[in-house]
Amino acid sequence: MVSAPLDTIERPSAAKERLRLWIRLLRASRLIEGELRERLKRDFDSTLPRFDVLAALYRQPDGMLMSDLSRFLLVSNGNVTGIIERLVKDGLVSRAAREGDRRASIVKLTATGERRFTEMAAAHETWIEEFLGDVSRSDAERLSATLKTFRSNWEDGH
């Protein structure tokens, strides 16, 4: 037993590789998020959290509960309260008590909100294409699959 396993000598451990991955993942998201934030502000006088809420509601024409939204977006309840408040004030979202349950509110896009969102979504798509256009289709598929697996495993255990 003179030598350690090859893995620990000849290249970074798998753990180090995963740590490096996390750091790059974080930096990439921050770069992209920062750029998106800037453009949403510039072109639509809006924000990323608002965009996320609109996107979630767009997929659910029958509306969502506040708690549905916070679960789906991975943010706290109190957070959603504030964001919805502003979207309602801007006329992009409507809010009504759920039939027969005055605790729950059902939140929907208004017609204006829907129109506004489709504009934002179109711009968003071209921006992402601008940012990630250099990633080949096969890389995108592989990466995407890895991240999906990660998330499934994660959510099963938590």
Partner DNA sequence: CTGCAATATTTCAACCTTGAAATTTCATGC
Partner DNA sequence: GCATGAAATTTCAAGGTTGAAATATTGCAG
Cα 69 to Cα 93: distance, rounded to the nearest angstrom: 13
**31 binds a copy of itself per the rule CB under 8 A:** yes
Q: Which stretch binds a copy of itself (CB under 8 A): 38-46, 62-70, 87-95, 124-132?
A: 124-132
HSE, CB side, 13 Å, CA atoms: give it for residue 53: 31
Largest CA distance in the chain: 74
Considering only the stretches 56-64, 80-88, 102-110, 130-138, report the one whose residues sit in contact with a copy of itself under the rule CB under 8 A: 130-138
4, 6, 74, 158: residue in contact with DNA (rule CB under 7 A): 74
Site for DNA in 84-123 (CB under 7 A): 84, 86, 100-105
For 62, the 3-state DSSP assignment is coil
Q: How far apart are CA 81 and CA 54, in angstroms?
A: 14
Positions that interact with DNA (CB under 7 A): 34, 37-38, 41, 47-50, 65-68, 74-84, 86, 100-105
